[in-house]
Amino acid sequence: MLNAHQLSFQFTAGVPLLQNVSLAIEAGQWVGLSGDSGAGKSTLGKLLAGYLTPHKGNVILDNATLPTSGVQPVQWLPQSPELAVNPRWRVAKILREAWTPSEAQCQAFGVQPHWLSRFPHALSGGELQRVCVLRALAPGVRFLVADEISTMLDPITQVELWQALKQKAEQRRLGVLVISHDTALLKRLCTQRYHLSNAQLTPIS
Amino acid sequence: MLTIEQLSLRLPHYGTGYAAWWKRSWATCLDNLSLHFLTGEVHALVGASGAGKSLLAYAIMGLLPASARLNGQLCYQGQLLDKRSQKTLRGRELALIPQSLNALDPLVRTQRQVAWAAERAGQSSGSARQSARQALDHYRLDTRAQQAYAHELSGGMARRVLTAMAHVSQAQLVIADEPTVGLDPHQRQRVLAALRDLADQGKTVILITHDLRHALPIADRVTIMRSGKLIETAPAHAFQGTGRSLTNAYSQALWLALPDNAFTLPKPCAASIADKAAGIKAQQEISVA
C-alpha cells in the first residue's frame, strides 16, 4: 500500500502548492486525479514517485519510506516521452535500462522488434510512449503514476495503451494513479477519483 | 471555396550511411486526395499522427520543402493555386496557425508581430497597430503579455497570439494546426469558440486535430485521414450513438474508442488497426526512384 501522509509542498515561499494532502493507494487499485493546470497534480505525482521531497509529511510504501537507490517501486510516467529518454540511445538500450521485457510482453504493448535499432526521434509520440510504459514495468515496480500519458494520442492508440496497461496491472496487482483533465477517461479507468484544487485534495463520489 | 483534386505528395526517403543520396526512394505521404471545403464551415481534419494532416496544410499554403513532389490540383475560388499565387495569397487570403510555437519571432514583442500580420494584409502601420491591440484584447492577453517576448509567454498565451495573427490577417481561409494542444479545458474552449466565430463571419476554417471529441461540437463536417489516404468525410452529426451512419470501419472504431463511448476496439477492425502499429512507413508504397 502506498500512503502519502499529510504532504505539504511549495515552490515559492508563502504560496503553498499542496497543504496537508493525504492519499492512499492499495495494490491493484486505480485512482484518478483531476485538477486545473497549475493545481499541482504533477507535483503530487512526483512527490509520490520520489522525484521531489515534501517539505512536510512523508510517503510510506508498506511501512517503509521510499528507497533512495535501486529500482524505484513507484514509477512516474511523464506526458512527453521524448523528454524522458536519452536521444543518443537506441530504443533497445532505452527499453532494457532496468529490465529486459520478453518478446510476449513487447507484443502486448505493440512494441515492434524493428523499432529497437532506431533512435527515439524515429518513433512517433504514441510509439515512444508505449516503449516508456513498458520500460517502467520492471519486476520490482509496484505503483505507477501515469501523468497525462494519453493526451497526445489518437483515440485508438489510447485504447490500445490503456488495455495493455490494465491487463498488466491486473496480473501483477499494480496500483495506478491516473492524472488527467479528461473526466470521461478517469470514470472509465478508476474506481476512486480525486480533484485537486486550492492545495487540497477532495474525493469525487 | 477550396477544391483539392487528386492530390498526391511524395517526399524523398534517404537511406542511411555513405552514398545515401543514390539510395533515395520516395515515400508517398498523401495519396490521391480529393476534398472540397465550403465557405463558412469549420472542417475538421482528424487522424492519428503521421496521417499527413499537416502536410496537407503545407501543400495548401505552399510551404512544402523544395524536394517534395506534388501532383494534382488545388483550386482556390476558381483560381488554380501554384507557387507564385500561393506566395501572394499567403497572409492575405490564406492564413496558417502553425502547430509549433517556434513560429513566433523570438526577438520581436508580441504586439508588433501581430501588427506585422495586419500590415501584410494591407493595413497602414497606424491602423495595423490599432487592430493588433484589439485582436490581442479579444483573446484576453493583457498589456503585459502584449509587450512580452515569445519566451515570456506560456504555451497557451503563445497559441492565442498565433490565433490573433490569423484573426487580423482577415484571411478567408484559416488553417489551424492542432491549436488546442497543451491548453487547459477553459482555454481550449475559448480558442475553439474563436474559430467557430471566424466561420460564422463567413470564413472557412480547417481545423487539424487528433482530438475528435473536442472538434465535434464546433465542426460542420469531419474528414478522417489515415496514413495519407482519405477515409471518410462525414457531417459532424453522424458521430453519435453507435456511429452506425459512418460508412467506414476505421472512423467507427475511432468514434467508439472515445472514453465517452464504448472505449473498446471492435473485433473485425482490430486487425486493420494492428497494422498501424507496424509503422506507417511499412504501409506506404516506397518505390525506388
Quote the pLDDT of residue B287: 34
Quote the pLDDT of residue A109: 87
Q: Does B70 touch chain A (CB under 8 A)?
A: no
pLDDT at B273 over 60: no
Q: Does B21 touch chain A (CB under 8 A)?
A: no
Quote the pLDDT of residue B281: 38
Rounded (5°) CA angle A70-A72-A73: 125
Say if residues A20 and A4 touch (Cβ distance below 8 Å).
no
Domains of chain A and CATH, by start: 2-81+141-204 (3.40.50.300)
Residues of chain A in contact with residue B259, where contact means CB-CB under 8 angstroms, are 182, 184-185, 187-188
Average pLDDT estimate for A100-120: 89
Q: Least CB-CB distance to B254: which of A110, A155, A162?
A: A155
Residues of chain A in contact with residue B212, where contact means CB-CB under 8 angstroms, are 154-155
From A155's Cα to the closest Cα of chain B, the distance in A is 5
Q: Which of B201, B142, B124, B218 is nearest to B167 (CA)?
A: B201
User: Does the domain spanning B2-93+172-185+203-288 belong to CATH 3.40.50.300?
Assistant: yes
Structure confidence by residue, pLDDT tens digits, A43-66 = 999 999 999 999 999 999 988 999
Residues of chain B in contact with residue A158, where contact means CB-CB under 8 angstroms, are 257
Structure confidence by residue, pLDDT tens digits, B149-158 = 988 887 778 8
CB proximity list for A147: less than 8 A, separation 6 or greater: A41, A42, A45, A76, A77, A78, A79, A179
Q: Which grid coordinates belong to A90?
A: 537506441
Q: Least CB-CB distance to B49: which of A124, A184, A185?
A: A124
Say if residues B228 and B51 touch (Cβ distance below 8 Å).
yes
ipTM exceeds 0.90: no
Structure confidence by residue, pLDDT tens digits, B21-74 = 677 778 888 999 999 999 999 999 998 877 888 899 999 999 998 888 999 999
For residue A137, name the pLDDT band (cuts at 50, 70, 90). very high
From B258's Cα to the closest Cα of chain A, the distance in A is 6
Q: Does B80 touch chain A (CB under 8 A)?
A: no
CB A112 to CB B279 under 8 A?
A: yes
Q: Which grid coordinates belong to B176?
A: 489551424
Residues of chain A in contact with residue B253, where contact means CB-CB under 8 angstroms, are 156
CB A152 to CB B210 under 8 A?
A: yes
From A61's Cα to the closest Cα of chain B, the distance in A is 31
Q: List, by residue range, all CATH 3.40.50.300 domains of chain B.
A: 2-93+172-185+203-288
From B89's Cα to the closest Cα of chain A, the distance in A is 32
